[in-house]
Structure 1
Amino acid sequence: MTSEKRETFGRIGIWSGALHGSRANRAGRKAIEDAVAELDELGYGTLWIGGSPSPDDAAAVLAATRTVTVATGILSIWDHTAEDAAKRTAAIEAEAPGRFVLGLGVSHGPMVPRYAKPYSTMVAYLDALDGANPPVHRGRRVLAALGPKMLRLSADRALGAHPYLVTTEHTAEAREALGPDALLAPELSVVLGTDLDRARTIARDMLAMYLRLPNYTDNLVRLGFTESDFEGGGSVRLLDALFALGDVEHVKGRAQEYFDAGADHVALQVLTGQERGTALPRAEWRELAAVFADEL
């Protein structure tokens, strides 16, 4: 990782869909503020706000923290115009200089009624960001990317790529597609504990939604998985490739596999089985910060 990318992102980050402050009630917003302030103090490099966040969600997290980078992971380009995204990014930059990264993605056909031509739509969106006043500099944006075309676009028109639900094999292929200089920051889902049956149940519960989305299943087929791996919520082979299921030392070893494959940064998503709510797994985040102390 170049010194600039290390300074911006760090090696280890936290990805969480529970950080949508704009969706929470007052008590929920206070819980998020307390949690992200602690994550900042623990030393994580980047907080990725999952689940199609808005720039306002990022602004709220930035206001509650001091030094950590905050990224949208991932803002859907169908939900926000490029003009609005650029305007909000400029306002956030004025309040928290150098700490916000605009993560962009094309979402999924089954989730977007007007979904069409995702690649060309993303190109047009990036053109609009470049032409905005002020523009969103390519060094302040990353793209959700799985396939070769979107990965190359991530290198050409953004700081790099933030792939979600990927294997170490995909990470190696992504590094080759991106070249040596672009950021590669995959997400890695984690279930802490030594009860593998429980961990696999939690992983399959999370995976169920994604196995209905062709962007993910097509990518997994490209990596050598078959339809049989998608049955029953996911084969053990698939779970072992996509998740870190075990104690903190196992998680650290799995993250190292992604680094060895070419990742600059790994965004850890902690699953507890309560993801449909607003669970903030602060105890697990503390445990991980302790084992990754030399990386933070």
Structure 2
Amino acid sequence: MGRWGITIPYAGQVLDRELVAELPKLGYTDAWSAEVNGSDGFTPLALAAGWAPELRLGTAIVPVSTRGPGLLAMTAATLADLAPERFVLGIGASSLVIVEQWNAGEFVKPFARTRDTLRFLRAALAGEKVTATYETFDIKGFKLERAPRIPPRIVLAALRPRMLRLAAAEADGAITNWLSPEDVRKVRAELDDDTELIARLFVVVSEDADKVRALGKRMIAAYLTVPVYAAFHDWLGRAEMLRPMHEAWAANDRQAALKAIPDELVDQLIVHGDAATCRARITEYVANGLTTPVLAPIPADETPIAQIVRDLGTP
């Protein structure tokens, strides 16, 4: 079996020590955090490092513009020592809303900032003293007091060719999001065959397709109207399919935007059905070139999230 990841904490839940410790027995190989407006990206992994020492742990992702480069290096070094050879640092540009409106940062030159941060982190986490002028920031004399014994692998959030090619050329892998199994082929074509490709997959274990599609349309409207995701799906070939949603959203008609999203798009982008159907759908992503699926279970009914996580594990 290849990799089989899960997102922690689970949707809207407090981190459950017993369930995290159970993940390896359920067939999960990885636990990946996220950082938007819930838990931060590092604390859950620090806890999981002790609760489930078999798991590989990763951030998917932490933004490069909400922490200074030195602080990001220090935090990554701490996790790398807590989980030697098991921690993967996932970084990315994030979005204008998260960086500027929520964190009082500057969302400027996102590609260059990500590239520069990657290059700085490579040097800093290797224990080098860094004095360098990058395109988006300057570093003068930074050196980790204690560099990690084993520097972590670094992977990049990448949606389109330029960032995907940077991930292939200079990072240890790429992280993507909001795509269908068929889309994986187009993303994979921008990467070397041996470059790890990671994707968070939203999974709803429910056979009530109408309920799932109503939930999925709300999620799609919230995400795919963000400029970086809109551009991603234009590149994937969905510009015409999504045009009515974007026009209604721009006119502040949220209900019309939801109605403009076709059911087939939800079926393409959100894994749903009973647990066996969901697992089979996830294997389609892997067959098309995804290295590491990272499941993000979304509750649709009263089924406890712990049961969903158990049901989605591999035999």
The question of a shared fold, defined as TM-score above 0.5 by the shorter chain, is answered with yes
1:127 has 2:140 as partner: no
Residue 222 of structure 1, CA deviation? 1.8
Q: 1:228 aligns with which of 244, 247, 257?
A: 244
* Residues 32/280 of structure 1: CA separation in 2 closer, same or farther (3 Å cut): farther
Residue 175 of structure 1, CA deviation? 1.2
Asked whether the 8 Å contact 1:87–1:134 carries over to 2, the reply is: no
Superimposed CA distance per residue, residues 216-246 of structure 1 (whole angstroms, 9 cap, x where no aligned partner):
1111122222213663163212111101111
Aligned length: 271
Superimposed CA distance per residue, residues 145-171 of structure 1 (whole angstroms, 9 cap, x where no aligned partner):
100011011111211111011122331
Asked whether the 8 Å contact 1:14–1:44 carries over to 2, the reply is: yes
Worse-superposed segment, 36-45 or 153-162: 36-45
Superimposed CA distance per residue, residues 16-53 of structure 1 (whole angstroms, 9 cap, x where no aligned partner):
45489xxx9xxx4xx43222112233230111112343
Q: 2:267 aligns with which of 240, 247, 261?
A: 240
Asked whether the 8 Å contact 1:142–1:160 carries over to 2, the reply is: yes
Q: 1:269 aligns with which of 276, 286, 296?
A: 296
Q: 1:67 aligns with which of 48, 54, 65?
A: 54
SS at 2:211 equivalent = helix
Q: 2:221 aligns with which of 188, 204, 208?
A: 208
Q: Give, as a single letter, the amino acid of the residue that structure 2 aligns with 1:86.
A: A
Q: What residue in structure 2 maps to residue 163 of structure 1?
A: 176
Asked whether the 8 Å contact 1:12–1:44 carries over to 2, the reply is: yes
Q: Distance in 1 between matches of 2:272 and 2:44?
A: 29
Report the structure number with the largest CA radius of gyration: 2
Q: Percent identity?
A: 29
User: Structure 1-normalised TM-score?
Assistant: 0.83
Superimposed CA distance per residue, residues 111-138 of structure 1 (whole angstroms, 9 cap, x where no aligned partner):
3221111111111101211221545888
Q: Distance in 2 between matches of 1:96 and 1:133?
A: 15
1:40 has 2:24 as partner: yes
Q: Counterparts of 1:170-209 in structure 2 under 5 Å?
A: 170-209=183-222
Q: Give, as a single letter, the amino acid of the residue that structure 1 aligns with 2:225.
A: R
Q: Distance in 2 between matches of 1:209 and 1:51?
A: 16
SS at 1:163 equivalent = strand
SS at 1:104 equivalent = strand
Q: Distance in 2 between matches of 1:280 and 1:118?
A: 38
SS at 2:276 equivalent = helix
1:12 has 2:18 as partner: no
* Residues 121/18 of structure 1: CA separation in 2 closer, same or farther (3 Å cut): same
Q: Give, as a single letter, the amino acid of the residue that structure 2 aligns with 1:285.
A: V
Q: Give, as a single letter, the amino acid of the residue that structure 2 aligns with 1:51.
A: E
Superimposed CA distance per residue, residues 75-104 of structure 1 (whole angstroms, 9 cap, x where no aligned partner):
111122222222222222222211111111
Asked whether the 8 Å contact 1:93–1:100 carries over to 2, the reply is: yes
1:118 has 2:142 as partner: no
Q: Distance in 2 between matches of 1:19 and 1:100?
A: 22
Asked whether the 8 Å contact 2:178–2:201 carries over to 1, the reply is: yes
Q: What residue in structure 1 maps to residue 311 of structure 2?
A: 287
Q: Distance in 1 between matches of 2:46 and 2:281?
A: 31
**Unaligned stretches of 5+ in structure 2?**
101-105, 128-147, 247-256
Q: Give, as a single letter, the amino acid of the residue that structure 2 aligns with 1:282.
A: A
User: Structure 2-normalised TM-score?
Assistant: 0.78
* Residues 196/258 of structure 1: CA separation in 2 closer, same or farther (3 Å cut): same
Q: Distance in 2 between matches of 1:99 and 1:16?
A: 16
Q: 1:103 aligns with which of 81, 90, 113?
A: 90
**Unaligned stretches of 5+ in structure 1?**
1-5
SS at 1:185 equivalent = strand
Q: What residue in structure 2 maps to residue 87 of structure 1?
A: 74
Q: Distance in 1 between matches of 2:219 and 2:305?
A: 15
